[in-house]
Amino acid sequence: MSKKDYYELLGISKGAAEDDIKKAYRKMAMKYHPDRNPDDKAAEEKFKEISQAYEVLSNKEKKAAYDQYGHDAFSGGGNGGFGFDQGFSSAADFTDIFNDIFGGGFGQGKRGAKARASGVRGSDLRYDLKITLEEAFKGINAPIRYSTNVKCKGCNGSGSEGATKPVQCNTCGGVGRVRSQQGFFTIERTCHICNGEGELIQNKCKKCGGHGRTREEVNISVTVPKGIEDGYSIRVNGKGEAGVRGGGNGDLYAYISIAPHKFFTRKGADIYCKVPVRMILATLGGEIKVPTINGTHAKIKVPAGTQTGDKLRLKEKGMPHMNSTNRTGDMYIQVNVETPVNLTDKQKELLKKFEDECNNNSSPQCESFFKKVKSFWSDIRSN
Ligand SMILES: [Zn+2]
Ligand SMILES: [Zn+2]
């Protein structure tokens, strides 16, 4: 490695302040960074030289040694030498020093100028999509409308008018972040000149004002599969906010909420329906007609002696299973036996006659319940 004077290399005078050393290095390093000068051996050599100079001058101990002994301070093994003639040999080694100072981001695979050029991905969006249970049963294509930032058609997202190209931000050197020293801490913050974009647009697109995006209303159709359940979300690829400077679009997530139904409640793929049944029909048995989720109806047999709370099953009259194309849930009729009201005198008369004909077998539940109550009372008395 060269033995050029470190101060000369950075274009500063001996005794320059810490900040001036940093500033000088920043300027030179930006100019000669290998990423900026691909396949340029001379630039790479220069980058190594200035980085080594900075490596020494930015370190208090090394700087003091250098100031006193010059290059001999680092000759290694020499008297008075510090022996830190570093093994740096490639520009890549110095890129780490460079990144340390500038907040990283130069060089491949790292955040920064190169990654920045490929843009920032747009945000994902959430859309609350209310559907009916019938729609969840059939599946639908739901048209939705929302406004978001889309790629500007005037500049195709570049932010620049016509063919003009953005220029690198000098303040942050295209990295988008700047660092400053405060006591022991190094504070890294977004460059306020370019707002972290690393580039400045010289000739702003008139349509978007240089943002590369415009706020537009978007109309799309969301495919809701049959059998979808409340609370699920459907991802629509690339329909979120547009990226910045060529970054990918975010996605749109349609969150499904299913409105309560007049008749039906749902548990997974099964549907429940509370149906009032006439007392006489529930007593003697018969058939009733019930609505079904497909918009038609079904007939179901009510066995003699059906009670309130009994469940009658209609096979495969429920919802499609969400993850299975050919399975369907069942429908359950929850019986609610209706006690007759608004009776005429004749009806009352008939029911009294009916009651006279009844025996203990007609109402076994009442019979057994009151037997239990009796024994409960006698137990209390005997205690
Ligand atoms: Zn534009
Ligand atoms: Zn900047």
Token pair, residue 305, equals 């002696």
Lowest-pLDDT range, 41-50, 68-77, 283-292, 315-324? 68-77
Ligand 1 centre from 190 Cα, in Å?
23
Mean pLDDT of 58-66: 81
Q: Give the whole-angstrom CA distance, residue 55 versus residue 220.
A: 56
Q: Give CA angle at 116 (112, 117), nearest 5°.
A: 130
Mean pLDDT, range 111-138, rounded to an integer? 79
Work out the mean pLDDT of the chain and round it to a whole number: 85
Ligand nearest to the CA of 156: 1
The reported pLDDT for the residue numbered 117 is: 46
Residue 62 has pLDDT above 90, yes or no: no
- Residue 366, pLDDT > 90, answer no
- Cα 207 to ligand 1 centroid, rounded to whole Å: 5
Query: Average pLDDT for residues 206-213, to the nearest whole number?
Result: 90
What was the pLDDT predicted at 92?
57
Q: What percent of the chain has pLDDT over 70?
A: 87
Rg (C-alpha) for the chain, rounded Å, is: 41
- CATH of range 264-338; options 2.60.120.620, 3.30.70.580, 2.60.260.20, 1.25.40.10: 2.60.260.20
Q: Check if the beta carbon of residue 54 is closer than 8 Å to that of residue 97.
A: yes
Burial (CB < 10 A; 0-12, 13-18, 19+), residue 231, is: exposed
Q: Which CATH class is domain 6-102?
A: mainly alpha
pLDDT attached to residue 325: 73
DSSP label at residue 142:
E
Helix or strand or coil: residue 132? coil
C-alpha 111 – ligand 1 centre gap (Å): 25
- % residues pLDDT > 90 (the chain): 46
Q: What spacing in Å lies between the alpha carbon of 93 and ligand 2's midpoint? A: 25
- Residue 358 assigned as binding residue: no
Angle formed at CA 215 by CA 212 and CA 219, multiple of 5 degrees: 120
pLDDT one-digit tens code per residue, 1-28: 457 888 888 888 887 888 888 888 888 8
Task: Report the distance separating Cα 9 and Cα 29, nearest Å.
Answer: 11
Annotated ligand binding at 172? The verdict is yes
Query: Which ligand has the nearest atom to the CA of 171?
Result: 2
> What integer pLDDT is reported at residue 263 of this predicted model?
92
Asked whether this chain's domains 125-166+201-258 and 264-338 adopt the same fold, the reply is yes
Q: What is 125-166+201-258's CATH superfamily?
A: Urease metallochaperone UreE, N-terminal domain (2.60.260.20)
- Res 90: pLDDT: 57
- Give the Cα separation of 93 and 110 in Å (integer): 15
pLDDT at 118: 54
CA of 98 to the centre of ligand 2 (A): 16
Rounded mean pLDDT of 90-119? Answer: 50
Nearest to 23 by CA among 58, 56, 49, 47: 58
Å from CA of 157 to ligand 1 middle: 6
The distance from CA 154 to its chain's CA centroid, rounded to whole angstroms, is 29
pLDDT of residue 309: 96
Domain ranges of the chain: 6-102, 125-166+201-258, 264-338, 345-382
Burial 131-160 (b: 16+ CB within 10 A, else e): bebebbbeebebebeeebbbbbebbebbbb
What band does 86 get if pLDDT is binned at 50, 70 and 90? very low
Closest listed ligand to the CA of 191: 2
Q: Residues 84, 66: contact at Cβ < 8 Å?
A: no
Q: Which two tokens stand for residue 226?
A: 């049959």
